[in-house]
Amino acid sequence: MEIRGGIDLGGTKIQAVVVDESAGILGDARRPTPKDGGVEGVTQAMSETLAEALQSASLDGTQLAGVGIGSPGTIDAGAGTVANAMNVVPDWKEAYPLGPIVSKLAGVPVSLGNDVQVATAAEFRLGAGEPYRSLLGVFWGTGVGGGLILDGKPWVGRGAGGEIGHMVIRRGGARCTCGRIGCMEAYAGRRAMELHARHLHEDRGRHTDLFKIMHKHDRTQLSSGIWERALREDDELAHHLIDRAVAALGAGIASAVNLLDVEAVVIGGGMGVRLGQPYVDRIVEAMHPHLFVDDRPPDVRLAELGDLGGAIGAALLATPSS
Amino acid sequence: MEIRGGIDLGGTKIQAVVVDESAGILGDARRPTPKDGGVEGVTQAMSETLAEALQSASLDGTQLAGVGIGSPGTIDAGAGTVANAMNVVPDWKEAYPLGPIVSKLAGVPVSLGNDVQVATAAEFRLGAGEPYRSLLGVFWGTGVGGGLILDGKPWVGRGAGGEIGHMVIRRGGARCTCGRIGCMEAYAGRRAMELHARHLHEDRGRHTDLFKIMHKHDRTQLSSGIWERALREDDELAHHLIDRAVAALGAGIASAVNLLDVEAVVIGGGMGVRLGQPYVDRIVEAMHPHLFVDDRPPDVRLAELGDLGGAIGAALLATPSS
């Protein structure tokens, strides 16, 4: 049996899977992304998470044919390097040979890809995007990432395409965590939403239980689960900020559809997966007033591979050594 | 010699060219789009404009191998029909067999394409887009149209792609002539700019010479030439509205580039061509703060085929009958 590993490197967590020839999941493991130890600490944790996924499948490293990694930042797939992954490690700006180092630790060839692109490719090949030839993947999480499949093939332009989160939906609007003004992510990215919630709560005295729920669950950040709980408890500020995010997603996704007229949109990411179909329906509603051709909107579907999509997509990258 | 005709049908004018095998222009003619006589009147005027272009080249219809038409609206190239061309004739909503009828009048086969797409294809094959494999054509005129070339091929999605003018750049902002809110075209389309200028002048008492210049030049609308003159005469309101349009174009084009990471942007259309390079430079400046990867922006170039690009692109569509 040809076994491949996939590692999805995120700012919050490292997710690893081990899959068989048909990308069926044999084992998986997840760890928080270490906040100390720099990029070396992260690399070590990636290797350990993969080992754990192998263990959960009662396999050892010798049975592994190859590993794929989906990473944020600027990827040079040929050189196996990642640069500008500051949301993983704040000073990870220079190109770091993540591929060769994980390859050495795991003892197998490693292929690298952009995290959002591999997750989009996974949905296209195995998930909600299967019936379509063109689709836009929208990964609503810490930020808002986008991946494109056009005419059955990934489209990344000169390498950096898909930045749907940094489409401008409100000129002169909110400042984004990227430093720019009016990006969709400034309204819909979980990190931006947390900063805004904190500001409204701490500086403006707006009532919210968001941070109380966060502490109760021993979290240091407003995870997707915390947002979901706050919505369930009818926290007014949580509802307000999520409504604002949905409106921003609607405008931004509709803009992308007006430009590309893709067949389908797949909504994934931590927030997308956690909030699920009811919120996909709300995003569809928020898109509608902005769709130029509104009598045949694209299909909008919830990601089917859930939290594991990124790691599965990474495994699809892996070139078996044999 | 294989002679082809190209007709660019617009809301304001009908432009025809006659070209040789290498798309070199042999003759051209232009007429205002008739406002009376409905779609039949427009079709008749198209045929006459083509005849005039042939005449200007001392050719007659018998030497014509084929004709291409670039039209706004919803094109069914197979059936040769155009629907939803309300900016040409207000009640042109149903599919009208423009191709077959012009074919009968001209006595040669007729091919149909979207006006903006054919103009983009012309710049890609013969103009400012020649050096690139991926580009975004932005046609700044009555509205703001967009055309895409990705990996050397036109991309129209399910047929309606390229609507860059209806990307949302300001949620909750100005009402667009399309009825939606916050579209780029609501700020940058010449029609929307004229409505806004009229409102500020007539209802709010803002001083401007725009309409005085329009009357002096016997126009009934603020054409690109009128805007240019008003800028030259340092009309304050004209400057204000053009600045607002440039800012909107900057945000919208940067958004499209963030999503697609194309190599180049080509700026054409009546306003783009008339205002020329200084305004292309200003659009580049307005894009910059919104570009996610701002250290290697796309090349942004002025359309080289000018006002004739649409008609030349239409001629490229024409399939010679032999």
Q: Is B261 on the interface with A (CB under 8 A)?
A: yes
Residue of A nearest to B144 (CA): A259
CATH code, domain carrying A230 = 3.30.420.40
Assess if residue B137 is contained within a domain. Answer: yes
Record the tokens describing residue A54, joined without a space: 């192998």
Residues B118-127: tens digit of each pLDDT: 999 999 999 9
Q: Is A290 on the interface with B (CB under 8 A)?
A: yes
Instruction: Give chain A positions within 8 Å (CB) of B252.
Output: 168
What pLDDT score does A12 carry? 86
Does residue A26 sit in the same domain as residue A162?
A: no
Residue B219, phi then psi, degrees to nearest 5 = -105, 160
What pLDDT score does A204 carry? 96
Structurally, chain B folds into a number of domains equal to 2
Cβ–Cβ under 8 Å, residues B108 and B47: no
Q: Which of B19, B14, B10 is nearest to B57 (CA)?
A: B19
Q: Is B164 on the interface with A (CB under 8 A)?
A: yes
Instruction: Give chain B positions within 8 Å (CB) of A148.
Output: 259-260
Does residue B107 sit in the same domain as residue B143?
A: no
Q: Is A299 on the interface with B (CB under 8 A)?
A: no
Assess if residue B322 is contained within a domain. Answer: no
Assess if residue B122 is contained within a domain. Answer: no
Quick one: A32 exposed, middle or buried, by C-beta within 10 A (0-12, 13-18, 19+)?
Answer: exposed
Does residue A187 sit in the same domain as residue A248?
A: yes
User: Is the Cβ pair B166, A258 closer than 8 Å?
Assistant: yes
Residue of A nearest to B162 (CA): A259
What pLDDT score does B1 carry? 72
Assess if residue A287 is contained within a domain. Answer: yes
User: Is the Cβ pair A292, B155 closer than 8 Å?
Assistant: no
Overall average pLDDT of the B3-10 stretch = 96
Compute the C-alpha angle B130/B132/B136, nearest 5°: 95
Assess if residue A322 is contained within a domain. Answer: no
Quick one: A52 exposed, middle or buried, by C-beta within 10 A (0-12, 13-18, 19+)?
Answer: middle
Q: Is A296 on the interface with B (CB under 8 A)?
A: yes
Residues B94, B74: Cα–Cα separation, whole Å: 10
Residues B68-99: tens digit of each pLDDT: 999 998 899 999 999 989 889 989 999 999 99
Q: Is B150 on the interface with A (CB under 8 A)?
A: yes
Overall average pLDDT of the B212-238 stretch = 97
Instruction: Give chain A positions within 8 Å (CB) of B248.
Output: 171
In the three-class reduction of DSSP (H, G, I as helix; E, B as strand; rest coil), residue A186 is classed as helix
Does residue B144 sit in the same domain as residue B46?
A: no
Residues B155-179: tens digit of each pLDDT: 999 988 999 999 999 999 999 999 9
User: Is the Cβ pair B251, A171 closer than 8 Å?
Assistant: yes
Range of the domain at A288: 128-304
Does residue B283 sit in the same domain as residue B144?
A: yes
What pLDDT score does A47 carry? 95
State the complex-level ipTM: 0.93
Record the tokens describing residue A141, joined without a space: 């999480």
Q: Tell me the DSSP string of A130-180.
A: TT-SSEEEEEESSSEEEEEEETTEE--TTTT---GGGSBSBTT-PBPTTS-
Does residue B110 sit in the same domain as residue B168?
A: no
Cβ–Cβ under 8 Å, residues A109 and A67: yes
Residue B157 falls in which region: left (phi positive, over 0), alpha (psi -120 to 50) or beta:
left
Does residue B14 sit in the same domain as residue B71?
A: yes
Instruction: Give chain B positions within 8 Å (CB) of A258.
Output: 163-164, 166-167
What pLDDT score does B24 carry? 92
Q: Is A261 on the interface with B (CB under 8 A)?
A: yes
Does residue B300 sit in the same domain as residue B154?
A: yes
SS (H, E, C) chain B: CCEEEEEEECCCEEEEEEECCCCCEEEEEEEECCCCCHHHHHHHHHHHHHHHHHHHCCCCHHHEEEEEEEECCEEECCCCEEECCCCCCCCCCCCECHHHHHHHHHCCCEEEEEHHHHHHHHHHHHCCCCCCCCEEEEEECCCEEEEEEECCEECCCCCCCCCHHHCECECCCCECCCCCECECHHHHCHHHHHHHHHHHHHHCCCCCCHHHHHHHCCCCCCCHHHHHHHHHCCCHHHHHHHHHHHHHHHHHHHHHHHHHCCCEEEEEHHHHHHHCHHHHHHHHHHHHHHCCCCCCCCEEEECCCHHHHHHHHHHHHCCCCC
Instruction: Give chain B positions within 8 Å (CB) of A160.
Output: 261, 292-293
Does residue A139 sit in the same domain as residue A282?
A: yes
Average pLDDT over chain B, rounded to whole? 95
User: Is the Cβ pair B181, A258 closer than 8 Å?
Assistant: no
The maximal CA–CA distance of chain A, rounded, in angstroms, is 62
What pLDDT score does B322 carry? 43
Q: Is B262 on the interface with A (CB under 8 A)?
A: yes
What pLDDT score does B320 carry? 58
Assess if residue B121 is contained within a domain. Answer: no
Does residue B41 sit in the same domain as residue B88?
A: yes
Spans of chain A below 50 pLDDT: 321-322
State the DSSP H helix or E strand holding residue A245, giving kind and residue range, or none if neither. helix A236-260
Instruction: Give chain B positions within 8 Å (CB) of A293.
Output: 160, 163
Whole-model pTM?
A: 0.93
Amino acid at the residue B64? L
User: Is the Cβ pair A258, B292 closer than 8 Å?
Assistant: no
* Strands B64-71 vs B3-9: parallel, antiparallel or unpaired: parallel
- Residue A184's contacts (CB-CB under 8 Å, 6 or more residues apart) are A144, A164, A165, A166, A167, A168, A169, A248, A249, A251, A252
Residues B174-209: tens digit of each pLDDT: 999 999 999 999 999 999 999 999 999 999 999 999
Which of the residues B151, B255, B257, B294 would you substitute to probe the A interface, choosing the one with the greatest number of A C-beta atoms within 10 Å? B255
Compute the C-alpha angle A191/A194/A200, nearest 5°: 145
Overall average pLDDT of the B275-285 stretch = 98
Q: Is B116 on the interface with A (CB under 8 A)?
A: no
Q: Which of B13, B7, B19 is nearest to B70 (CA)?
A: B7
- Within the 59-78 window of chain A, which residues sit less than 8 Å (CB to CB) from chain B? none
Instruction: Give chain B positions within 8 Å (CB) of A168.
Output: 169, 251-252, 254-255, 290
User: Is the Cβ pair B290, A166 closer than 8 Å?
Assistant: yes
Record the tokens describing residue B213, joined without a space: 């210049």
Does residue A43 sit in the same domain as residue A187?
A: no
Does residue B150 sit in the same domain as residue B276?
A: yes
Overall average pLDDT of the B295-304 stretch = 97
- CA–CA min distance B50, chain A (Å): 32
Q: Is B179 on the interface with A (CB under 8 A)?
A: no
User: Is the Cβ pair B157, A171 closer than 8 Å?
Assistant: no
